[in-house]
Amino acid sequence: MDKAQVSIDICVDNTRPALAIEIRRLKDTFIDAKSRRVRIRYITEITGDNLGYCEELISIVDELRHLDGIKGNFYVSEIEYAAPPTLHEKRKSSDMMIYSGAKEIVEHQQYIFDSFWNTSSSAERKITEIQGNISLGVTEIIDDPSRTRELFIGLIKSAKSEILLILPTINAFMREHKMGVMHLFKELLTTQEGGTAVNIRVLTPNTY
């Protein structure tokens, strides 16, 4: 933390935010790094148990983000990498540390951190969900054709009142037809339980 001049990226499990706040020397190290304009990015799993610590962390790091189920701990700066074990006594830092200043190791761990960072969500969003006991949902890019088909069919089956579908080409229409989408539409057009049929509107080019 003291040697970093550019950045410190931290990826830790949900037990670590408490240490960053409760261990005064560690908290002061964060504050000192930020005062030197070192960029600090911090990823952890934000839960109801560590919510208060994470709210305080927001003020001493540049950005805090949430990632579900994260395991293991590591810190990486522009020149060094360190990984303390997960197990530790309450309110105490670990007695052991894996450390490397090798350029290749640092670059590898930076790549791992960036991968986690790109799939994490904002701390503010997760805190809002916990405090309001709500789910704001997730947005993701899916490039697995079988999962895409599964989600699309599931979306159609879950419709209760209306489906709006745009098929920009004839080929797109034929693909949906082969997937069985039009058959599902026929089923949904019949009266549902309670007397309401699903209203379905499809926009697609015509053939001549």
Mean pLDDT of the chain: 88
| Boundaries of every domain in the chain | 7-132, 145-203
Query: CB under 8 Å to 110, separation ≥6 — which residues?
Result: 9, 76
pLDDT above 70: percentage of residues in the chain: 90
CA nearest to 32, candidates 60, 9, 54, 65:
60
The CA distance from 14 to 44, in Å, is 6
What radius of gyration, in Å, describes the C-alpha atoms of the chain?
24
What is the pLDDT, as a whole number, of residue 184? 87
Contacts of 15 (CB under 8 A, 6+ apart): 50, 86, 88
**pLDDT computed for residue 74 by the predictor:** 95
Mean pLDDT value of segment 137-165: 84
What is the C-alpha separation between 18 and 28, in angstroms, rounded? 14
- More confident of the two residues 143 and 37: 37
Q: How many angstroms separate the CA atoms of 77 and 171, rounded?
A: 50
Q: What is the CATH number of domain 7-132?
A: 3.30.870.10
- The answer on pLDDT for 120 being more than 60 is yes
Q: Does residue 194 carry a pLDDT above 80?
A: no
Report if pTM > 0.85.
Answer: no
Mean pLDDT of 106-124: 94
